[in-house]
Structure 1
Amino acid sequence: MFLNTMKYYSVVLTALVLYACGNKNQQQQPAGPQAIPVALEVAKTAEASYYDEYPGTIVPLNEIELRPQVTGFITGIHFTDGSRVRKGQLLYTIDAQLYTANYDQAVANANVQEANLVRAQKDADRYHELEKNDAVAKQLVDNADAALEVAKRQAEAAKANIQAVQTSVRYTKVVAPFDGVIGISAVKVGAPISAGQTVLNTVSTDTQLAVDFNVDQKEIYRFTNLMKSQKANDSTFTLKFGTDVYPANGKIALLDRAVDPQTGTIKARLIFPNKDNQLRAGMTGTVRVLNNAAAKSIVIPNKAVTEQLGEFFVYVLGDSSKVSQRRVELGTAIGANIIVKEGLKEGEKFAVEGVQNLREGAVVQESKK
């Protein structure tokens, strides 16, 4: 009986020892890596039209500074500041008394020279008649012809002087050179002005306005093709002020004559209608040019991209639920998304959320976004 009891306890003790050793072995086994929950997306191609943006300046298609062509004093202003004027409309008058007097004097002098010409002609005719009968010396005939020629030249000079003085009289009235809008007058009635020096005002067109902006010389080919292919109501060219987009579309008018060798850019010009007079010369805005070159591109959320030392990466799902860090080349941002030029293929899965917790080779578990 005692021996049987001893055998029983030996068996139990052995079992307990084996169980304890088993638990110890289980505790010493390393635990596997814990999966990191992330949101994944599948890389897909999408229509990636976007706008290239350029700073632009609004300029009038036609603008001129009004400067007097005669010296004097302003005697009249015949418009309202900021009003619309018509071609040929009287704008300013300049004191014309001196120029009118000069004109009258020039006319009087021309009459005198005309009378001298008539007398010289009669003298020359008389001497030529006497010459036929050998009744006058040849020298006197020559003198008469010379006097006649001088009288002709003096008469012509007097007539030319009338035209010059008459022009000065005409310049005492300053008129609008074309239809447009006139600014605030820079002079008042009675102000002294100098020919070619004093700026009276500025007139510019406003029914259509131009927007000038600079593009890189590498884009000349693209913009040349846009000039050829643009259509009516084409939305390729738009204009933005802050967050507000101008309601009318523009049309590309021209590229400048040459590239600026210092900047490597060329000036481009758009024309926008200005029906409601919302555009004013001198304004600055942002020119938006629709770009379809990246259509059918891979577009991913911006938040999926990480940056390290100036390079960009995404975490791409591989085998065994592990992610690898993949360098990508990015294109233009489109809202909350961005174009991937290289580094990611259609159909590959990549991490969108939780990327801040990832490292190369990390095991992930897909969670709901």
Structure 2
Amino acid sequence: MRDLKEIYSLGVRFGHALLLGSGAFLVLGCQGSTPSSPKPPEVGVVQPDTRTVKTYATLTGNLTATQTVTLKARVRGFLRSINFTDGAFVKQGDLLFVIEPETYQAQLSAAEAEVAGAQVTLAHAQRELDRVLELVKKKAVSQSDVDEWQAQRDSAAALVAKAKASADMARINLEYTQVTAPFDGRMDKHLQDVGALVGEGQAIDLAVLTRLDPIWAHANINEKDLIKIKARMRRNHESGYHGKTVPLFLAIEGEEGFPHEGSLDFVATAVNANTGTILVRGIFDNPAVEGRMPMLVPGMYVRMRVAIDEIQDALLVPDEALGMDQGGSFLLVVNEEDTVQRRTVTIGDLQDDGSRVVLKGLTPNDWVVNQGLQRARPGLRVTPIKNTTSSQPPVQPAQSAPDPVKEDSSSSNAS
């Protein structure tokens, strides 16, 4: 019994010693693994580019054909043939329709015969007049004979002129039996069929021919932008739209940017007093590819961009650096203390290289966050990774290195 009590007493004292030793070990371990403060997140920053840029106005308008004509039957007759396929592209002078020519060929032949007969009569009257003029000198005929043959000669000359006019008219009517293309263009569907009687009492529509290349775009520009354009042209000694120094850029539905380039070729005479706008017209190349319909078609809704003015020393930032909320557009900038600040800005046009003009709210010395925006919040301290030029691709912030103290403590625990 006594032996059992002694064994139990030794076990209790050993357990107390073990607990005290473990506590001391934990205290020493905690003292050796005191955590350090986290490293500020890294973000990519750039300074604004400074260069001269153009400001643009975006207009909305419609496309119209440069030439459209309705081909008509100008003489009466049955339609003999149609020499094109609906929707085909034709060249100037191509034969499109034939109206029965036999009647008009016969009329031309009869008119030419009348011309020949009148010329014979004229020649006879001229010879007789010449003969009596010789006889009157010899006192063989009277002056009245001379006057009579002179009148007959003049009458015959008038008949010749009349006959020639009739022949010309018959020749024109014969030419009207062949309807040709007055210019290059695309044919619409034919409006009359072969065998139809056309030209009965009035000019009958046969088809519509439209010129698609080049093509016009009409739009209205406001008075303020017009004044800015004219001021820029005077300042830069530009020759005006007839000299094609005012480029226009155009896009149709579904196109990105403004891929079609043309030029301004007409400005209306007066500003509309009710709307404060003026009509402008641009002309654009619009070639058909392999005989197919060109990209731009009359009647299409289009967007046009025209340069209004130039901004010297404009500030530009990558467009992806911009944010938008209820307060408007803003940028995140890093100050001298490496703290993120929210900067409300007024923006301008998006440039072709993807940069955005900033009109107000930014200085050339600001560092703008353009990479790692999800790690940047106003008031947060960051580690900026600076790019020297915004034209370079943004630097990817490096991944945070593991804390060496934590590695040591984890190694110690593992051991």
TM-score between the two structures when normalised by the length of structure 2: 0.59
Query: After superposition, where does 1:153-192 map in structure 2 within 5 Å?
Result: 153-189=158-194, 190-192=196-198
Check conservation: 1:239, 1:245, Cα contact below 8 A: no
2:75 aligns with 70
- Comparing 144-153 with 171-180, greater Cα deviation is found at 171-180
State whether structure 2 residue 357 is matched by structure 1 residue 339: yes
The verdict on how the C-alpha distance between 1:211 and 1:155 changes in structure 2, with shifts beyond 3 A counting, is: closer
1:17 aligns with none
The verdict on how the C-alpha distance between 1:289 and 1:195 changes in structure 2, with shifts beyond 3 A counting, is: farther
Query: Which amino acid counterpart does residue 47 of structure 2 have in structure 1?
Result: K
- Comparing 46-55 with 263-272, greater Cα deviation is found at 46-55
The verdict on how the C-alpha distance between 1:246 and 1:65 changes in structure 2, with shifts beyond 3 A counting, is: farther
Deviation per residue, 1:125-165 (Å, 9 max, x gap):
33223312212221221121121111112112211221121
Query: After superposition, where does 1:1-369 map in structure 2 within 5 Å?
Result: 44-46=47-49, 52=56, 53-189=58-194, 190-193=196-199, 197-206=203-212, 208-214=213-219, 215=221, 216-217=225-226, 218-220=228-230, 221=233, 239-245=250-256, 250-256=260-266, 258-262=268-272, 263-275=277-289, 277=292, 278-282=294-298, 283-287=300-304, 293=310, 296-299=314-317, 304-307=323-326, 328-332=345-349, 339-348=357-366, 364-366=379-381
Q: Give the SS at the match of 1:256.
A: strand
Check conservation: 1:238, 1:245, Cα contact below 8 A: no
Residue segments in structure 1 that go unaligned for 5+ positions in a row: 1-38, 231-235, 359-363
Instruction: Give 1:124 shift.
Output: 1.7
Query: Which amino acid counterpart does residue 297 of structure 2 have in structure 1?
Result: A
Q: Give the SS at the match of 1:118.
A: helix
Instruction: Give 1:196 shift.
Output: 7.8
Instruction: Give 1:175 shift.
Output: 1.5
Query: Which amino acid counterpart does residue 281 of structure 1 have in structure 2?
Result: V
The verdict on how the C-alpha distance between 1:171 and 1:273 changes in structure 2, with shifts beyond 3 A counting, is: closer
State the alpha-carbon separation in 2 of the partners of residues 225 and 43 from structure 1. Answer: 40
Q: Give the SS at the match of 1:200.
A: strand
Q: CA RMSD in A?
A: 4.7
State the alpha-carbon separation in 2 of the partners of residues 144 and 339 from structure 1. Answer: 93
Instruction: Give 1:60 shift.
Output: 4.6
Deviation per residue, 1:303-361 (Å, 9 max, x gap):
645556xx87779889999999976433235799853212332344789989xx99xxx
Q: Give the SS at the match of 1:145.
A: helix
The verdict on how the C-alpha distance between 1:337 and 1:175 changes in structure 2, with shifts beyond 3 A counting, is: closer
Check conservation: 2:74, 2:204, Cα contact below 8 A: no
1:9 aligns with none
State the alpha-carbon separation in 1 of the partners of residues 280 and 114 from structure 2. Answer: 58
Alignment length, in residue pairs? 317
The verdict on how the C-alpha distance between 1:198 and 1:336 changes in structure 2, with shifts beyond 3 A counting, is: same
State the alpha-carbon separation in 2 of the partners of residues 285 and 340 from structure 1. Answer: 27
State the alpha-carbon separation in 2 of the partners of residues 267 and 180 from structure 1. Answer: 21
State the alpha-carbon separation in 2 of the partners of residues 238 and 253 from structure 1. Answer: 8
Q: Give the SS at the match of 2:186.
A: strand
Deviation per residue, 1:271-298 (Å, 9 max, x gap):
2444354424313333456899567514
Identity %: 22
Instruction: Give 1:118 shift.
Output: 2.8
Check conservation: 2:64, 2:218, Cα contact below 8 A: no
